Amino acid sequence: MKLLALLSLLILMLQEARAASLSKEEREGDPYAILHLGDYVLSLDNYDEVIDPSNYDELIDYGDQLPQVKGTSLASLTRTHFTQSAEAARTLPSNPTVARPPTLGLLAAPANHGLPTCLICVCLGSSVYCDDADLENIPPLPQTTAYLYARFNRISHIRAGDFKGLTKLKRIDLSGNSISSIDDKALRLLPALRDLILPENKLVALPTLPTSIEVLDVRMNRLQSSGIQPEAFRALEKLQFLYLADNLLDAIPQSLPLSLRSLHLQNNMIETMQRDTFCDAEEHRHTRRQLEDIRLDGNPINLSLFPSAYFCLPRLPTGRFV
């Protein structure tokens, strides 16, 4: 290599000396006169003779300088990788105090698509947004979740363990799914749940509800009176808004709590009501001061036939009186 460098330096010095010997006129008249390549003077007349593409491979040969690369199949590379990994694992100390890489926790929990929940949904603080995510089930949720929005998906069933351990969950909005059933144990152990929003589904019955419920919206389902237990609402002493419009109910639910402020039952199949549906027939001094919004329009019932059923109400229900 040193000999090659000395030869190159000698050739360069000879070329510089030859260029210096050219006259000024020769240098100005022929701009290519000082360009050389080995023993050739590079000019437009002999350019094709200086560089011949046919013997290009003979100009520089790096064959003896390149490292030897052995062909290896992908399978053998994989086997080698796992063998080395296994050997490295055996060399690790068994001491449990050795630092281990942190786990991903919730981010590693696969959802319907086989991806972590917070990659499919948007996890922002205590809120999880899974709207229009093509979900078929409730995904695993962070333990700190307080608000869940999973609207416009393809969820068909709420399982018993879907909300297990979510003691901070305050609002569930599953509007616009295809939910036809909810396991009876799915919601009753949620002590903080206040709002249950389930319109535009296919429910035919209600599950057992937690006593903390304040808003229950089950509009535009297939809910039947037989799907509501007779005492379903009695223990819900915090319930204020009950929306059951656009279902298949043929009777007004019984044992409505005194905390109720709004009851929407429009567009059902209700034809009659009991005298004590809203008021205590024996206690005429009792009044429901909070229940100011009752809607029964869109039902076949004639409200004028039940005058004694409204004496405790601050306002008459909305509906047909003729």
> Which residues on adjacent β-strands are paired with residue 110?
116
With 80 as the cut, is the pLDDT of residue 49 above it?
no
The reported pLDDT for the residue numbered 236 is 97
The SS3 of residue 2 is helix
Contacts of 130 (CB under 8 A, 6+ apart): 120, 121, 122, 139, 148, 149, 150, 153
With 90 as the cut, is the pLDDT of residue 229 above it?
yes
Q: What is the pLDDT of residues 168-226, one digit of tens each?
A: 999 999 999 999 999 999 999 999 999 999 999 999 999 999 999 999 999 999 999 99
| Residue 270 Cα to chain centre, angstroms | 40
Q: Which element (helix H / strand E) includes 17?
A: helix 2-21
The reported pLDDT for the residue numbered 139 is 94
Q: How confident is the model at residue 113 (pLDDT cuts 50, 70, 90)?
A: low
The reported pLDDT for the residue numbered 103 is 35
Other residues' Cβ atoms within 10 Å of the Cβ of residue 4: 8
Kindly write down the DSSP assignment for every residue of 103-156, as one continuous string.
Answer: P-GGGGSB-TTSSBHHHHSEEETTEEE-TTS--SSPPP--TT--EEE--SS---
Size of the chain, expressed as the number of residues it contains: 322
This prediction's pTM = 0.66
The reported pLDDT for the residue numbered 20 is 54
The reported pLDDT for the residue numbered 161 is 95
The reported pLDDT for the residue numbered 275 is 86
Contacts of 7 (CB under 8 A, 6+ apart): none
Q: Which of 12-16, 80-84, 241-245 has the lowest mean pLDDT?
A: 80-84
Query: How far apart, in whole angstroms, are the C-alpha atoms of residue 254 and residue 267?
Result: 18
The reported pLDDT for the residue numbered 16 is 62
Contact between residue 18 and residue 42 where contact means Cβ atoms under 8 Å apart: no
Backbone phi, psi, residue 3, to 5°? -65, -40
Contact between residue 237 and residue 257 where contact means Cβ atoms under 8 Å apart: yes
